[in-house]
Amino acid sequence: MAHVNNGVPFDPQAFENVRIDLPALKRRAATLGTKRCVKKAYQAAWLMRCCSVIDLTTLAGDDTDANVMRLCHKAAKPIRPDLVKALGMENFKITTGAICVYPNQVAVAKKYLKAINADHIPIASVATGFPAGQTPLKMRLEEIRMAVADGATEIDIVINRTKALQGDWQTVYDEVKLMKEACGAAHMKAILAVGELGTMENVYKASMVCMQAGSDFIKTSTGKEGVNAILPVGLVMVRAIRDYLAATGIKVGFKPAGGIRNAKQGLTWLMLMKEELGDEWVKADLFRIGASSLLIDVERQLYHYVYGRYAAEHQLAMS
């Protein structure tokens, strides 16, 4: 990823008086999935772009080396070779944007990616007491350092929702800043856990505070909350990114995660990014989708485009 956010001094004036018109926000979000579409060859091209921005994820309690190995193989060759050839994209070397695993699986992922000559694919690791973030700060920071030492090139941290809900944005800023320092050269994505922030105003405030503290990306959710990646929340966050860019000149990436399971949803998120932030934000250095099952439906739709029928389940490799 080319873009780095070194942060700015804490400035509550950038967000403390924000007010959000919820009905207008919902109306704008509702039009994204219903009044826009891409068809035929254009849709196939957008689906390939969608594939290239997925953080292919496994965050389960029963993760094993075999699960991670399968994830690495799928990330390196996400679309069947015959489909890639039919689309004329053999020379583009399409991979997913990254793979995303728990910290204790980072070394395993690094080993398997190297074994299949795919160690250029970024390894993202969740950290900081994911998903709750309710462990002592010292432990959260050490978890980051351990994941980076094992080979993680991206770290997905979770913010302190307790402090956010109490309005203690200075502490949220201070903690995220320390987490950014612990990441070293690894890029940091700050997970807001929007389903636990209570209001859209808090979503905007948390977005701005994390960017001020140096987050290279802001991310909607852990995928474990009751409300995860939904379009109204995405609009609030990308407009915070736009405001931060206008104020500082710094580009920050965006990652929706949780509940994005089918190709149509993936395309709608791409449309949101293109319309709200522009073409730079539909590429992997500034946009990712956190998902475990989205890729299968993307490949399924590409199969239909090429062959005119849907593949049977056994014809597409698991992710």
Given the residues 180, 189, 255, 297, select the one marked as catalytic.
255
Determine whether 255 is an active site residue: yes
Determine whether 156 is an active site residue: yes
- As given in the structure block, the two tokens for residue 43 are 């849709």
Given the residues 177, 219, 251, 297, select the one marked as catalytic.
219
DSSP annotation of 2: -
Long-range contacts of 106-110 (CB under 8 A, 24+ apart): 106/147, 106/150, 106/151, 106/152, 107/150, 107/151, 108/65, 108/68, 108/69, 109/68, 109/71, 109/72, 109/151, 110/150, 110/151
| Cis, peptide link before residue 131, omega less than 30° from 0 | yes
Neighbours of 232 (CB within 10 A): 18
Given the residues 156, 177, 180, 205, select the one marked as catalytic.
156
Q: Smallest Cα–Cα separation from 254: which of 275, 269, 265, 268?
A: 269
- Yes or no: say if 123 and 98 are a contact pair by the CB < 8 Å rule: yes
Determine whether 26 is an active site residue: no
| Positions marked active-site | 156, 219, 255
